Structure 1
Amino acid sequence: MRLVTWLSLALITLAALSLLVGAADLRAAFAQDGRAALIFWGSRVPRTLAVMLSGAALAVSGVVMQQILRNKFVEPGTVGTGESAALGLLAVTIFAPDAAIWVKMLAASVAGLAGTAVFLRLIRAIPSRDVLMVPLVGLIWSGVLGAVVLHIGWQTDLIQLVTVWLMTGEFSGVIAGRYELLWIAGAATVLALLAADRFAILGLGHGLATGLGLRPAVVVRLGLVVVAVVTAMVMATVGMVPFVGLVVPNIVSRIMGDNLRKSLLVTALGGASLLLICDIIGRLVIHPYEVPVGTVLGIIGAVLFLWLLWRAPALG
């Protein structure tokens, strides 16, 4: 509980700082006219909420994916979920460009779910259970799907849109009316938090989980839905955000172990805090211009991941 308290205070502090950081000086704007309120409520607040929702949702979905695959080196971004969701968005953009946003989100979620399910079948067909084989196959599968998406985008003159989905992780365009779908990702995160015990038992293996009275297939489907919905909502809103679902769950697990009932909330708070830190750095490093949060997170996340690989887990 002490760690939850400290992380909550850190998140509140970072959120307050995020509201104050930006190209516009709100104090001067308030002194001159009333546009500061429009900037604050129309841009700063939605952006801060979007960053927090995305970070928490991606971190928790990373835990869910790791429990489903029983492998600490995977996340939705390394098993083809994001690329599959992009393929669904691309299909709707080509065949039904005037479709409502909820139709696009549904298509992205279904495609992400299908792509992840195919990956699970690929893993089951591989005889080797080496711990690095799963993420390696995931990266290959992601690369194949990404190549398909890029090829279709190039042929249909939608390459710029595809690039935004797959390569940016950009929150500068988040304003009121353009981030609300992330609350659906937040709801999926809450669902995962409520089912923490089931995911923890699933991580013990299908045989043991069945012996404990769990229906593994049902829990796997629930987990896949959570992962697909979170990935689709985040991708459609801000693009791909790397490493959150990989490094945050591993760091939390090093500190707290694998008791998901206790650690999943910490993971959500840690993911939101990490993404806020990266977003604030991106806004300050070349102020008043911005570096995309995906770029900052790519550097910080890579360093953290290498540290996790280098530093052996503490025993006992």
Structure 2
Amino acid sequence: MSARARMAAALALVAGLAAASLFVGVSDVSLSGILQGQDRDWLVLVESRIPRMLALVLSGASMAIAGLLMQIVIRNRFVEPSNAGTMEAAGLGLLVMTLVAPAAPVIAKMAVGAAFALAGTALFLAILRRVPLRDPMLVPLIGLLLSGVLYAGTSFLAYRFDVLQGLLAWTQGDLSGVLRGRYELLWLGAAVAGLAWFAADRFTVAGLGHDVASSLGLSHRRVVALGLAIVALVTAVVVVSVGRIPFLGLIVPNIVSLALGDNMRRAVPWVAVSGAGLVLACDILGRTIRAPYEIPVGTVMGLIGSAIFLVLILRGGRRAA
């Protein structure tokens, strides 16, 4: 099968999952009711189901691309925004804005969240420079420790000022409250993530290291800074819109790289499609496994992603041996 045929099949699968998600949920929405023009079915479809489906596709594709970019820039296959302190730092920024300026517009909260996410990622990189990394597995472990510290501090502040419920909404990845007018910021995140594809060749060269990039006439520091800025902005947009979706940016790029190698320009479309399809599948599973109750997509993704993460670590350890 040719590459175009495989991509067409993948897009058809994602389209099928997207169509299925429109008819899964507590409120009954039928195709016959929509075709007959029933007001209730159209109201639920337009106000809730379509915005939720688009939010799943946009957040899944954006976070998967952000994970791929982060792995290339940091030069480690086991890092992504949820285990490098980036998501937790973004959540801390949103909490600070909630406490300091609760009436601020969403775009202002997103900007502060992006600034905190960038600062958290910079702190992660500063720690890596000071720690002798004899094993690549130490990188995600350090990131998980940093994420735990940031989350603990954020939880303490939220408990102290009685906004713990709002913090849980950011950390669970719950899309049950996504309605029309409350997800459109994700289009900005998808557009920013799309910059990674346009500059894919530069990021690929930067991933070869400072010396190689400099010998080819590339400003390694500027490209890395641009990559981390894209990751921070995408993470902030997703966290403020739908919450935390863990391990997505880790497992999807790794699975794609097993099939396509490390060519970022070839990998980005596949990573985007695979990320969107995986999030759609997890959301459908979360809405059906305990219907009419709903398991947040972040919880389902965390369970599946942690298992695949463990497999990837064990596989990497066997390769090193």
TM normalised by structure 1 equals: 0.95
Question: CA–CA distance in 2 between the matches of 1:43 and 1:129?
Answer: 49
Question: CA–CA distance in 1 between the matches of 2:152 and 2:89?
Answer: 11
Secondary structure in 2 aligned to 1:60?
helix
Out of 258, 272, 280, the residue aligned to residue 284 of structure 2 is 280
1:227 is aligned with what amino acid?
V
Question: CA–CA distance in 1 between the matches of 2:185 and 2:248?
Answer: 19
Answer yes or no: is the 8 Å Cα contact 1:3–1:266 preserved in 2. no
Q: Where does residue 247 of structure 1 map in the other structure?
A: 251
Is 1:118 the equivalent of 2:123?
yes
1:3 is aligned with what amino acid?
R
Answer yes or no: is the 8 Å Cα contact 1:279–1:293 preserved in 2. yes
Q: Where does residue 95 of structure 1 map in the other structure?
A: 100
Question: CA–CA distance in 1 between the matches of 2:78 and 2:228?
Answer: 17
Answer yes or no: is the 8 Å Cα contact 2:137–2:313 preserved in 1. no
Secondary structure in 2 aligned to 1:26?
coil
Secondary structure in 1 aligned to 2:22?
helix
**Residue deviations 1:55-111 (CA, integer Å, cap 9, x gap):** 101111001111111100100010111111111111111111111111111111111
Shift of 1:302: 2.1
Question: CA–CA distance in 2 between the matches of 1:163 and 1:203?
Answer: 35
Question: CA–CA distance in 2 between the matches of 1:98 and 1:311?
Answer: 48
Answer yes or no: is the 8 Å Cα contact 1:112–1:232 preserved in 2. yes
Question: CA–CA distance in 2 between the matches of 1:148 and 1:175?
Answer: 31
2:43 is aligned with what amino acid?
L
2:164 is aligned with what amino acid?
I
Answer yes or no: is the 8 Å Cα contact 2:63–2:235 preserved in 1. yes
Out of 200, 203, 207, the residue aligned to residue 207 of structure 2 is 203
Is 1:303 the equivalent of 2:274?
no
Q: What is the alpha-carbon root mean square deviation over aligned residues?
A: 1.7
Answer yes or no: is the 8 Å Cα contact 1:81–1:116 preserved in 2. yes
Is 1:7 the equivalent of 2:10?
yes
Q: 1:127 to 1:284 in 2, by over 3 A?
A: same
Q: Where does residue 146 of structure 2 map in the other structure?
A: 141
Question: CA–CA distance in 2 between the matches of 1:311 and 1:125?
Answer: 27
Shift of 1:128: 2.5
Runs of 4+ in structure 1 off by over 6 angstroms are none
Structural mapping, 1:31-70, within 5 Å = 33-70=38-75
Out of 84, 87, 90, the residue aligned to residue 85 of structure 1 is 90
**Residue deviations 1:141-199 (CA, integer Å, cap 9, x gap):** 11111111011111111111112212x11111111011011111101111111111111
Question: CA–CA distance in 1 between the matches of 2:220 and 2:135?
Answer: 22
